[in-house]
């Protein structure tokens, strides 16, 4: 649980949330079931999916850099 309170753990969590929600947005059945709500907790997932699809190059580069940092830098 100590990784939740560190900055790199928070960044990893945010990147995984954005990538997962963007992936779920591409699945038609899950898109209507999970990401149709725009308020509340599911609204956060909707906004993360929008960020992941619109900024897919920046998100993928940051995922690669974070993976390199976690595997080699730590």
Longest Cα separation, the chain: 40
Does pLDDT of 6 surpass 70?
A: yes
The yes-or-no verdict on residue 1 having pLDDT over 70 is no
| DSSP SS3 for 25 | helix
Query: Among 56, 34, 55, 57, which Cα is nearest to 46's?
Result: 34
Per-residue pLDDT tens over the stretch 15-49:
999 999 888 888 888 777 776 777 878 888 888 98
Token reading at 49: 């999916």
Provide the pLDDT confidence category of residue 3 given band limits of 50, 70 and 90: low
Unique residue bearing structure tokens 């209507």: 32
Nearest alpha carbon to residue 68 among 12, 18, 24, 1:
12
Query: Domain limits of the chain?
Result: 1-73
């Amino acid at each position: 649980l100590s990784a939740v309170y560190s900055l790199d753990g928070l960044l990893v969590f945010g990147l995984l949330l954005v990538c997962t929600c963007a992936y779920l947005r591409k699945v038609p059945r899950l898109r209507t079931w999970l990401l149709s709500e725009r308020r509340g907790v599911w609204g956060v997932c909707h906004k993360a999916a929008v960020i992941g699809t619109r900024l897919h190059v920046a998100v993928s580069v940051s995922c690669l850099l974070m993976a390199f940092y976690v595997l080699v830098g730590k």
